[in-house]
Amino acid sequence: MFQQVLIANRGEIARRIIRTCKRLGIKTVAVYSEADKHALHVQEADSAFPIGGAKVSESYLNVEAIIKVAKQTNTDAIHPGYGLLSENADFADRCRNEGMAFIGPTAQVIQQMGNKIEARKTMEQAGILIVPGVSAPLHDADEGVNKAHSLGYPVMLKASSGGGGIGMQLVRSDEELYRAFEGNQKRAQSFFNDGTLYMEKVIEHARHIEIQVLFDSFGHGVHLFERDCSLQRRHQKIIEEAPAACLDESVRHQMGQMAVKAAKAIGYENAGTIECLVDQNQQFYFLEMNTRLQVEHPVTEEITGIDLVEEQLKIAASEPLSFNQEDIHQIGHAIEVRIYAEDPVTFYPSPGTITTLSTPVAPYIRHESSVTNGSVITPFYDPMIAKMIVYGDTRKLAIERLKAALQAYKIEGIKTNLPLLREMAGSSDFLHGRITTDFLMKKREENRS
Tell which residue, 285, 302, 272, has the closest CA to residue 109: 272
Tens-digit pLDDT profile for residues 27-58: 999 999 999 999 999 999 999 999 999 999 99
The string of pLDDT tens digits covering residues 216-234 is 999 999 999 999 999 998 8
| Ranges in the chain annotated CATH 3.30.470.20 | 207-447
Output the pLDDT for position 192.
Answer: 84
pLDDT at 446 over 80: no
Across 73-82, average pLDDT: 97
Please report which confidence band the pLDDT of residue 449 belongs to, taking 50, 70 and 90 as the band edges.
Answer: low
**What is the amino acid identity at position 302?**
E
- Amino acid identity for residue 11 in this structure: G
Quick check: 313 pLDDT over 70? yes
Give the mean pLDDT of 74-93.
Answer: 96
Q: Could you tell me how far CA 122 lies from the centroid of its own chain?
A: 21
Distance CA 116, CA 185 (A): 15
- CA 170, 175, 177: angle at the middle one, nearest 5? 40
pLDDT at 190: 83
Q: For residue range 326-374, what is the model confidence (pLDDT) as tens digits?
A: 999 999 999 999 999 999 999 999 999 999 999 999 999 999 999 999 9
What span, in angstroms and rounded, lies between the C-alpha atoms of 163 and 168? 9
The architecture CATH gives domain 4-103: 3-Layer(aba) Sandwich (3.40)
Q: Between 307 and 193, name the one with better pLDDT.
A: 307
Domain(s) labelled CATH 3.40.50.20 in the chain stretch across 4-103
Kindly tell me if the per-residue pLDDT of 206 is higher than 70: yes
**Is the domain 132-201 a CATH 3.90.1150.10 member?**
no
Q: Which tens digit of pLDDT belongs to each residue from 124-167?
A: 999 999 999 999 999 999 999 999 999 999 999 999 987 767 77
Q: Which of 233, 292, 338, 401 is catalytic?
A: 292
Distances 103 to 71, 144, 327 between C-alpha atoms, Å:
16, 38, 24
Residue span(s) of the chain under CATH 3.30.1490.20 come to 132-201
Question: Is the distance from CB of 204 to CB of 164 less than 8 angstroms?
Answer: no
> Which helix (H) or strand (E) covers residue 29, if one does?
strand 27-33
Tens digit of pLDDT for each residue in 238-293? 999 999 999 999 999 999 999 999 999 999 999 999 999 999 999 999 999 999 99
- Does residue 283 come out as left (phi exceeding 0), alpha (psi in the -120 to 50 range) or beta? beta
pLDDT for position 403: 98
Strand order in the sheet with 384-392: 284-290, 270-278, 207-215, 221-233, 236-242, 333-340, 384-392, 365-369
Taking 70 as the threshold, does the pLDDT of residue 175 lie above it? yes
Cα angle for residues 282, 288, 290 (degrees, 5° grid): 120
Instruction: For the domain covering 207-447, report its CATH number.
Output: 3.30.470.20
- pLDDT attached to residue 142: 95
Percent of the chain whose pLDDT exceeds 70: 99
pTM: 0.94
Number of neighbours of residue 32 by Cβ within 10 angstroms: 21
Quick one: three-class SS letters along 180-245? Answer: HHHHHHHHHHHHHCCCCEEEEECCCCCEEEEEEEEECCCCCEEEEEEEEEEEEECCEEEEEEECCC
Q: Give the per-residue pLDDT at 162.
A: 76
pLDDT at position 369: 97
Res 447 pLDDT > 80? no
Known catalytic residue at 292: yes
